[in-house]
């Protein structure tokens, strides 16, 4: 069955535009409560990032869940992976995250976790969609859900993150700059790294409801680069608005993306004979990652873009490490979803084991030039991926690179965008092909 509301990562859109409206979210809360209450008692955790509309949608979800007879436990601002973790430890039936991740404040969305801290199975999402089209009812008064607040949620998650490294770990002498994107990590991330001994400077940690991801965080890395250089820090760590993506910056200001982070963690686990299986990337993963892992005889497979597909591939193969170049990194030996803080800690441990700086350690991988351009996609009857002009342009670009590169076009699962990616060993040629393809797609989408 096709989905009417759910995308690759929950439901997301512009605040005030259907379906991201208070009345829809009220009904969504009821549908989720009804879907899980069928299994008996129902407890649902609700957390959010720092965008201003989170207050409104938190209240709407709370009312809908209660109307369905589900008990609600409010977490307040909390990184998405923290909500996944607490959903498991409180033995709740589900966890809900109010967040639009790396998007600006005028977007918002609703993401879900199962009781195991993983993304909801497809069949559960379809049940929720069916309920959304059914009339809303209210259980009898005595069976309405109760609402409480978990006051020590941040402390619990901080300790969980610290538990992903040995108790003897001490990062004394390490100078870090953290960019919290004015988002959900603004309290917990500085505490984690400081409590492990690092000297920490923080930017992007003054959320006002409107500045989340605004010229900061993992999608706008320039502020972190400048701060790392100005403060002579050893490295910088950039989170996105909800704390499930991480990028890094070495002491020279060079950006280390998700593919390089995956490589650093994989190499460390492999050298210590702790890597279970191989590594899962995506269709967007850089060819350089695949080649670097190949040199170490580490298996590598590509999943569809989206952390839920990476996770599904890991579970199917019994592997433990995967991620995306955007900075979603899943370390299954520690957690059940992409976790920016835990991924960063694994990189720091890898550097500690090798006695190297981030700049030195990343020399083990040679990234191929890759250009990614976004083209606004209006929808409608024309599918640019199937348009003859687009197919022909892709074929010509692929042929001209003569096996030294690849072309990938795909629709975003969270935004009305078509992503045009070209990768190869000649940067000038790669950019020219990407720009030409983007032009063709723009003309088709016009």
Binding site members for Mg(2+): 101, 240, 242, 244
Contacts 24+ apart (CB under 8 A), 293-296: 293/263, 293/266, 296/266, 296/267, 296/270
With 0-12 CB in 10 A as exposed, 13-18 as middle and 19+ as buried, what is 251? middle
* Strand ranges inside 102-228, DSSP E: 107-114, 147-149, 175-179, 199-203
Question: Distance (Å, rounded) from C-alpha 49 to C-alpha 189?
Answer: 14
List alpha helices for 272-425, DSSP H: 287-295, 307-317, 340-354, 358-361, 388-400
Rounded to the nearest angstrom, the gap between the alpha carbon of residue 140 and the centroid of all alpha carbons in its chain is 39
HSE-up of 177 (CA within 13 Å, CB side)? Answer: 28
- Beta-bridge partners for 235: 176, 250
Q: How many residues appear in the chain?
A: 446
CA distances from 206 to 100, 179, 180, 243, 253 (A): 18, 11, 9, 15, 23
User: What would the two tokens of residue 192 be?
Assistant: 């984690």
Q: Mind telling me the catalytic residues?
A: 101
Region for 178 from its dihedrals, namely left if φ exceeds 0, alpha if ψ lies in -120 to 50, beta otherwise: beta
As a whole number of angstroms, the distance between CA 115 and CA 317 comes to 22
Annotated binding-site members: 101, 240, 242, 244
In whole angstroms, what is the distance from residue 357 CA to residue 279 CA? Answer: 23
d(CA 359, CA 212): 29
Q: Are 181 and 216 in contact (CB under 8 A)?
A: yes
| Distance of alpha carbon 263 from alpha carbon 291, whole angstroms | 11
Q: Bridge partners of 105?
A: none
């Amino acid at each position: 069955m096709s989905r009417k509301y759910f995308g690759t990562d929950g439901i997301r859109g512009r605040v005030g535009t259907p379906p991201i409206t208070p009345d829809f979210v009220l009904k969504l809360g009821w549908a989720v409560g009804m879907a899980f209450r069928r299994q008996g008692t129902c407890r649902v955790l609700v957390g959010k990032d720092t965008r201003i509309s989170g207050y409104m949608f938190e209240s709407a979800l709370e009312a809908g869940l209660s109307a369905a007879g589900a008990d609600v436990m409010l977490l307040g601002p909390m990184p998405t992976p923290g909500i996944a973790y607490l959903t498991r430890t409180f033995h709740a039936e589900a966890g809900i995250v109010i967040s639009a991740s790396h998007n600006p404040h005028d977007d918002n969305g609703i993401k879900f976790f199962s009781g195991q801290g993983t993304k909801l199975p497809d069949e559960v999402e379809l049940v929720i969609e069916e309920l959304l089209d059914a009339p809303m009812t209210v259980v009898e008064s005595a069976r309405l859900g109760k609402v409480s607040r978990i006051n020590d949620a941040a402390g619990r998650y901080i300790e969980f993150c610290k538990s992903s490294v040995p108790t003897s770990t001490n990062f004394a002498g390490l100078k870090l700059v953290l960019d919290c994107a004015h988002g959900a990590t603004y309290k917990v991330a500085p505490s984690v790294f400081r409590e492990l001994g690092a000297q920490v400077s923080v930017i992007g940690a003054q959320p006002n409801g409107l500045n989340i991801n605004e010229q900061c965080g993992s999608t706008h890395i320039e502020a972190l680069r400048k701060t790392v250089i100005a403060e002579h820090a050893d490295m910088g760590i950039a989170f996105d608005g909800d704390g499930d993506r991480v990028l890094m910056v070495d002491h020279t200001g060079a950006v280390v993306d998700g593919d390089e982070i995956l490589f650093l963690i994989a190499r460390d686990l492999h050298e210590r004979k702790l890597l279970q299986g191989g590594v899962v990337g995506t269709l967007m993963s850089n060819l350089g990652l695949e080649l670097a892992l190949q040199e170490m005889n580490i298996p590598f497979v590509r999943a569809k873009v989206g952390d839920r597909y990476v996770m599904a591939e890991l579970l199917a193969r019994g592997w433990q490490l995967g991620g995306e170049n955007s900075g979603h990194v899943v370390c299954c030996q520690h957690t059940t979803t992409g976790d920016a803080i835990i991924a960063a800690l694994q990189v720091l441990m890898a550097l500690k084991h090798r006695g190297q700086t981030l700049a030195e350690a990343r020399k083990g991988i040679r990234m191929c030039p890759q250009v990614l351009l976004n083209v606004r996609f209006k929808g409608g009857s024309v599918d640019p991926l199937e348009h003859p002009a687009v197919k022909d342009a892709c074929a010509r670009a692929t042929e001209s690179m003569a096996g030294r590169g690849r072309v990938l076009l795909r629709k975003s699962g969270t935004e009305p965008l078509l992503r045009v990616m070209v990768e190869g060993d000649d940067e000038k040629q790669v950019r020219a092909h990407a720009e030409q393809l983007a032009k063709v797609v723009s003309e088709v989408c016009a």
